[in-house]
């Protein structure tokens, strides 16, 4: 069961406000703040789609590059010893540090997925 909406590569939250008796949410994993609301699930989903479409149209009209969730790059702080060990392994394998980190993440997440700790 998903607790987010998906549309055009964007994820949106689904929250309920008991005070307003309304559903609302925002586009997740981007720096820009884009929110939407609705009185029911169908209304909320339609407004989420409209919010994504309007955000992308606004970016195109103004020449702004839209934020994209999960671009495939992120900074990781691992400490000097682990950094050195990973760099030495990359050198020994005649590959790049980026490749070593990517392979390590794939292996770790594969184990977590198989053990039921992770759902994609």
Q: Do 43 and 89 sit in the same domain of this protein? A: no
Q: Residue 37: give the domain boundaries.
A: 4-62
Q: Do 26 and 58 sit in the same domain of this protein? A: yes
Q: How many separate domains does the chain show?
A: 2
Do the domain assignments include residue 72? Answer: no
pLDDT for position 120: 47
Distance (Å, rounded) from C-alpha 5 to C-alpha 27? 9
Q: Return the residue matching tokens 């055009």.
A: 8
pLDDT for position 1: 60
Do the domain assignments include residue 106? Answer: yes
Strands of 1-120, DSSP E: 4-7, 10-13, 15-17, 22-26, 35-38
pLDDT for position 8: 95
80-92 vs 97-114: helix crossing angle, rounded to 10: 100
pLDDT score of 117 more than 90: no
The per-residue pLDDT for range 72-112, each reduced to its tens digit, is: 888 889 999 999 999 999 999 999 999 999 999 999 999 88
Q: Do 38 and 87 sit in the same domain of this protein? A: no
Distance (Å, rounded) from C-alpha 47 to C-alpha 37? 7
Mean pLDDT of the chain: 92
pLDDT for position 118: 62
Structure token digits, residue 54: 């309007």
Tell me, yes or no, if the pTM score tops 0.75: no
* CA neighbor of 55 nearest in space, from 71, 36, 83: 36
């Amino acid at each position: 069961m998903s607790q987010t909406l998906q549309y055009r590569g964007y994820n949106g939250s689904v929250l309920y406000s008991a005070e307003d008796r309304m559903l609302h949410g925002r586009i997740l994993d981007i720096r820009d703040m884009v929110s939407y609301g609705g009185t029911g699930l169908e209304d909320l989903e339609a407004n989420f789609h409209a919010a994504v479409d309007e955000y992308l149209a606004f970016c195109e009209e103004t020449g702004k590059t839209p934020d994209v969730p999960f671009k495939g790059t992120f900074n990781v702080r691992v400490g000097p010893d682990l950094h050195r060990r990973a760099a030495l392994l990359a050198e020994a394998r005649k590959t790049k540090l980026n490749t070593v980190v990517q392979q390590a993440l794939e292996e770790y997440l594969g184990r977590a997925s198989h053990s039921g700790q992770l759902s994609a």
